[in-house]
Amino acid sequence: MDPNRPILCVTPNPSIDRTWVVPGFAAGRVWRAQDVSAQCGGKGVNVARVLGRLGRQAIAAGPVGGHTGHHAADLAALEGLATAWTWITAQTRTCAIVVNPETGDATVVNEPGPTLSPDDWDRLTDDTAAAAGTCAAVAISGSLPRGVAPDAVARLIGAVQDRCSEVYIDTSGDALASAVAARPLAIKVNGDEVGALTGQRCSSHTEAVAAALTLQRQGIALAAVTLGAGGAVLADATGAWTAAAPRVEVVNPIGSGDAFLAALIAARVAGLPPTDWLRHAVAAGTANALRATAGDLHNADVERLLRETVVQPAES
């Protein structure tokens, strides 16, 4: 694994994310936004954005199309993201995020996005596999577009693994089950996602460790489970660890799971030990929550939170 190679970050269903900061927001009234921003969005794009903030070269990829797709691509270019888009004819979606800075709550409305044809998905698979051959790692993050069967993610993983063995997956539902069956190197999920997969409650460190070990028994070498403000756990062949998230005043939690994954990959690619993978991931995920827009974390926040994040061996 060459740490100087870029990390390919694939979003199967990209978007334009429009974020409104609205103090006191509640449904059913007329509000004026305090601040508005728009950026190229989707979980994989957020991962690429955070990797850039952390000083790692990353490439954002995924299917984009129509007027909104060109706008999303322009927004990515304006912020300096390297990209390798697969162009389709259907319109890329737009998603709405309303942040209440007084409470740290975020209200999200995700459009379903375009319907991809089999040819669209085949081209995305081919493009992703080709790009993977020049990368240190590949992260595939987010939901599948309409028209794409859950088992398509397994085919995508298989195509990528032929070119790059370091494959990280963050998805949910039937797509997650398909991904686990394909046995990528790593799975990153939150407590709700892994709970739905295993049929077991997952809201504590103990339950999250059990879920991570279940994923390992299914052939996943590296399993991470995030619990929001409750921190996260990580398990690999050498052990399992837990970390509590530092306490902060949350501005917007959207994208914190993506920041977690980005920092985990960056730390692993850099050759750090597993305990530091988890420590860096939790610090970055927490730092993301201090900002109104996803992925806009500050390195000074990450460095401070690294000192406040304590990683411990999981209780056996």
Ordered DSSP codes for 182-200:
H--SEEEEEHHHHHHHHTS
pTM metric for this prediction: 0.96
* Separation of alpha carbons 212 and 185, rounded Å: 13
pLDDT confidence of residue 2: 73
CATH code, 7-313? 3.40.1190.20
Q: Are 226 and 207 in contact (CB under 8 A)?
A: no
Over the stretch 174-198, which tens digit does the pLDDT of each residue have? 999 999 999 999 999 999 999 999 8
Q: How many CB atoms within 10 Å of residue 32?
A: 7
Position 164 confidence tier, pLDDT thresholds 50, 70, 90: very high
pLDDT confidence of residue 172: 95
Over the stretch 22-65, which tens digit does the pLDDT of each residue have? 999 998 999 999 999 999 999 999 999 999 999 999 999 999 99
309 token code pair: 């994040």
Over the stretch 86-120, which tens digit does the pLDDT of each residue have? 999 999 999 999 999 989 899 999 999 999 999 99
Domains of the chain: which residue ranges? 7-313
Sign, Cα dihedral of 300, 303, 308, 311: positive
Above 80 in pLDDT, residue 3?
no
Over the stretch 42-53, which tens digit does the pLDDT of each residue have? 999 999 999 999
Over the stretch 281-292, which tens digit does the pLDDT of each residue have? 999 999 999 998
Backbone dihedral region of 265: left (phi > 0), alpha (psi from -120 to 50 degrees) or beta?
alpha
pLDDT confidence of residue 1: 64
Q: What percent of the chain has pLDDT over 70?
A: 99
Above 80 in pLDDT, residue 258?
yes
Positions marked catalytic: 258
Above 90 in pLDDT, residue 316?
no
* Separation of alpha carbons 219 and 215, rounded Å: 7
Separation in Å, CA 80 to CA 52, 75, 288: 9, 9, 19
CA Rg value for the chain: 18
